[in-house]
Amino acid sequence: MPVPRRRRRRRRLPDEVRSAAVRAVLCLSFTLVGVVVATLASYAGSWLMTPALMAMGLGVFGTMWCLLEILVSRQVAAQRMRGPNSASPMAGSRGAPEPLAARPFPRPGPRT
């Protein structure tokens, strides 16, 4: 009898990344609706083709903007998780770093 494998849980996306992804899907769906309307209007020879083409162009621009927003917000969220000036993902989450020992700086003087 095979042993069932445990499924690894995926981490939840940060809120700003999720909201950017929702905006991108909405913008893409409106763009696709504009493509369908422009196609049907061109087949029918209707005056709706021009506004539909303009809406489609704006939708393509908006979709690209939303995709860039997803990339930027993912990078910002990952940098926030890593902490400042660190290579490991959880370096900044353990608390305040220990203070350095109070040592006087060496004074510049004549070298012998």
d(CA 55, CA 62): 10
Percent of the chain with pLDDT over 90: 50
Query: Where is pLDDT greater, at 110 or 61?
Result: 61
Helices of type H across the chain: 15-44, 49-82
**Residue 100 pLDDT:** 59
> From the CB of residue 89, how many other CB atoms can be counted at a distance below 10 Å?
11
58-105: per-residue pLDDT in tens? 999 999 999 999 999 999 988 887 776 666 555 555 555 555 566 666
> From the CB of residue 59, how many other CB atoms can be counted at a distance below 10 Å?
19
Q: Per-residue confidence at 42, pLDDT binned at 50, 70, 90?
A: very high
* Mean pLDDT of the chain, nearest integer: 82
Rounded to the nearest angstrom, the gap between the alpha carbon of residue 69 and the centroid of all alpha carbons in its chain is 6
**Residue 89 pLDDT:** 56
Say what the pTM is.
0.63
d(CA 71, CA 59): 18
**Residue 25 pLDDT:** 96
Q: Per-residue confidence at 33, pLDDT binned at 50, 70, 90?
A: very high
